[in-house]
Chain A
Amino acid sequence: MIVSSRRAFLASTSMAALGMTLGLRRAVLALPVRSRVPVATFIPDLIDPATLRALAQAGIDAAKQAGASYADCRVSDWNEFETRQGLMIPPECALTFNYTYGLRVLVDGAWAQVFGADPTPDGIARAARTAVTTARGLSRIAGTPVELVPTPTVHGEWNTPQAIDPFSVSPDEHAQLIGAYKEASQRVPHASTGELRFQWGRDTRVFASTDGSLITQCLRRWRPIVMVAAFPRFGREEFATLPVPGISPMSIGFEAALGSEIQERIKATAEEVTRLVQYPEGEAKLGRYAAVLDGEAMGLMLGATLSPALEVDRVLGYEANNGGTSILAPASEFLGTPIGASVIDVTADRTAPHYGAARWDDEGVKTQSFPVIQQGRLRNYFTTRTSVLPLAAAVTAGSQPTVYGSAVAWTLSMKPIGSASHLTMASGPVGATLDSLVQDLGTGMLIYGARDDISTDSQLAGGLLQPQMLFEVQRGTIVRRLRHGGIQFGTKTFWKGVAALGDTTTVLAAHHAELRGEMAGWSSQVMHAPAALARQVDVIQIGRNR
Chain B
Amino acid sequence: MRGEPSQYPRRATMSRDAMDPGTRRVLSRDQMLAVGHKVLGLLDEERSGIVATSVTHSARAVTKVSDGKLLNTVDGDEVEIQVMSRFGSGLSVWISTNQLDDTTLRHALGKISEMTPPATPANEQLADDPDDQRYYTFNARPIPPVSLWHDATIGAMETARGTVLPSMIETLRRSNLSGAATIGLVARSTMHLYRLGLTAFSEETDSEVSVTARLPVVGGTGWSGQAHRDWAHVDPQAVTARAVLLAEQSRGIVAYEPGRHTAILGPAAVAQLVVAMAQLFSGNATNSPGVVGTPFTYVNHDVKGRHNRLHERVFDPRIMMVSDPADPLGGFPPFFEPGGEEIFLFGFPTPACTWIDRGVLTNLAYGASDALGRQLSPAQLPYSVRLSPAPGTQTATIEEMIAHCDNGIYVNRFSNVELLDRATGMMTGVTRDGCFLVKNGKIAKPIKNFRFTDSPWYTFNQLEMIGTAERVAFGYTSTPGASESWERRRRWPKLPVIVPPMMVRDFNFSGMTDAV
**Residues of chain A with a CB closer than 8 A to B180's CB:** 317-322
Q: What is the number of contacts between chain A and chain B, taking CB atoms within 8 Å? A: 341
B291 interface residue, CB < 8 Å from A? yes
Q: Are B423 and A237 in contact (CB under 8 A)?
A: yes
The chain A residue with its CB closest to the CB of B181 is A321
Most chain A CB inside 10 Å of its own CB: which residue of B74, B421, B480: B74
Bound Cα distance from A217 to B150, whole angstroms: 42
Q: Are B514 and A490 in contact (CB under 8 A)?
A: yes
Residues on B close to A: CB < 8 A? 1-2, 4, 6-9, 11, 13-14, 16, 57, 60, 62-79, 89-99, 103-104, 107-108, 111-112, 114-117, 127-128, 161-162, 165-166, 169, 178, 180-182, 184, 210-212, 214, 221, 223, 282, 284-285, 288-292, 299, 343, 369-370, 373, 415-424, 426, 428-430, 432-433, 449, 451, 453, 475-478, 480-481, 485-486, 489-492, 510-511, 513-516
Q: Are A95 and B93 in contact (CB under 8 A)?
A: yes
Partner of A50, one of B4, B92, B115, B169: B4
**Residues of chain A with a CB closer than 8 A to B73's CB:** 110-113, 134-135, 138
Partner of B428, one of A50, A157, A486, A515: A486
Partner of B77, one of A37, A117, A144, A544: A117
Bound Cα distance from A483 to B425, whole angstroms: 16
Q: Are B1 and A50 in contact (CB under 8 A)?
A: yes
**Residues of chain A with a CB closer than 8 A to B292's CB:** 237
Q: Are B513 and A461 in contact (CB under 8 A)?
A: yes
- Contacts known (A17-B290, A112-B73); A540 close to B511, Cβ less than 8 A: yes
Given contacts A95-B95, A486-B420, 18 further A-B contacts (CB under 8 A): A14-B291, A22-B370, A42-B112, A42-B114, A44-B107, A95-B108, A111-B72, A120-B16, A138-B73, A235-B291, A321-B212, A413-B78, A462-B513, A488-B510, A518-B64, A518-B74, A546-B423, A546-B424
Partner of B98, one of A98, A137, A138: A98
Q: Are A47 and B89 in contact (CB under 8 A)?
A: no
How far is the CB of A154 from the nearest CB of chain B, in Å? Answer: 13
Contact with B along A25-62 (1 / 0, CB 8 A): 10000001111010001111111101101000000000
**Residues of chain B with a CB closer than 8 A to A45's CB:** 8-9, 11, 107
Bound Cα distance from A137 to B74, whole angstroms: 14
Q: Are A518 and B9 in contact (CB under 8 A)?
A: no
Partner of A321, one of B449, B453, B475: B475
- Contacts known (A117-B78, A453-B481); A543 close to B423, Cβ less than 8 A: yes
- Contacts known (A23-B127, A134-B75); A92 close to B94, Cβ less than 8 A: yes
**Residues of chain B with a CB closer than 8 A to A50's CB:** 1-2, 4, 6
**Residues of chain A with a CB closer than 8 A to B285's CB:** 14, 17
- Contacts known (A44-B108, A515-B490, A540-B511); A18 close to B70, Cβ less than 8 A: no
Bound Cα distance from A85 to B351, whole angstroms: 32
The chain A residue with its CB closest to the CB of B114 is A35
Q: Are B93 and A113 in contact (CB under 8 A)?
A: no
A131 interface residue, CB < 8 Å from B? yes
A479 interface residue, CB < 8 Å from B? no
B contact face: mostly helix, strand, loop, or mixed:
mixed
Residues on A close to B: CB < 8 A? 1, 3, 7, 10-11, 13-18, 20-25, 32-35, 37, 41-48, 50-51, 53, 90-100, 102, 110-118, 120, 123, 127, 130-131, 134-135, 137-144, 157, 171, 234-235, 237, 316-324, 327, 413-415, 452-453, 455-464, 466, 484, 486, 488, 490, 492, 514-520, 522, 538, 540, 542-544, 546
How far is the CB of A286 from the nearest CB of chain B, in Å? Answer: 10
Q: Are A91 and B91 in contact (CB under 8 A)?
A: yes
How far is the CB of A72 from the nearest CB of chain B, in Å? Answer: 14
Q: Are B74 and A99 in contact (CB under 8 A)?
A: no
Q: Are A327 and B514 in contact (CB under 8 A)?
A: yes
**Residues of chain B with a CB closer than 8 A to A144's CB:** 69
- Contacts known (A95-B93, A157-B1); A138 close to B70, Cβ less than 8 A: yes
Bound Cα distance from A456 to B417, whole angstroms: 9
**Residues of chain A with a CB closer than 8 A to B99's CB:** 44, 97-99
Q: Are B115 and A35 in contact (CB under 8 A)?
A: yes
How far is the CB of B110 from the nearest CB of chain A, in Å? Answer: 9
Bound Cα distance from A352 to B104, whole angstroms: 31
28 contacts between A and B (CB under 8 A): A17-B290, A24-B90, A42-B112, A42-B114, A43-B108, A50-B6, A51-B11, A92-B94, A99-B98, A102-B76, A112-B72, A113-B74, A120-B13, A235-B291, A317-B178, A320-B178, A322-B182, A453-B481, A455-B416, A455-B430, A455-B481, A457-B513, A458-B416, A462-B515, A463-B416, A464-B418, A488-B511, A520-B491
Most chain A CB inside 10 Å of its own CB: which residue of B68, B75, B181: B75
How far is the CB of B286 from the nearest CB of chain A, in Å? Answer: 10
**Residues of chain A with a CB closer than 8 A to B178's CB:** 317, 320
- Contacts known (A22-B370, A90-B92, A117-B98); A542 close to B420, Cβ less than 8 A: yes
- Contacts known (A141-B169, A462-B451); A32 close to B95, Cβ less than 8 A: no
Partner of A518, one of B62, B65, B169: B62
Partner of B373, one of A22, A25, A111: A22
**Residues of chain A with a CB closer than 8 A to B69's CB:** 141-144
**Residues of chain B with a CB closer than 8 A to A157's CB:** 1
How far is the CB of B307 from the nearest CB of chain A, in Å? Answer: 13
Q: Are B115 and A171 in contact (CB under 8 A)?
A: yes
Bound Cα distance from A531 to B64, whole angstroms: 40
Partner of A42, one of B9, B111, B212: B111
The chain B residue with its CB closest to the CB of A85 is B91
Q: Are A514 and B416 in contact (CB under 8 A)?
A: no
Partner of A113, one of B72, B96, B127: B72
Bound Cα distance from A41 to B110, whole angstroms: 11
**Residues of chain A with a CB closer than 8 A to B57's CB:** 117
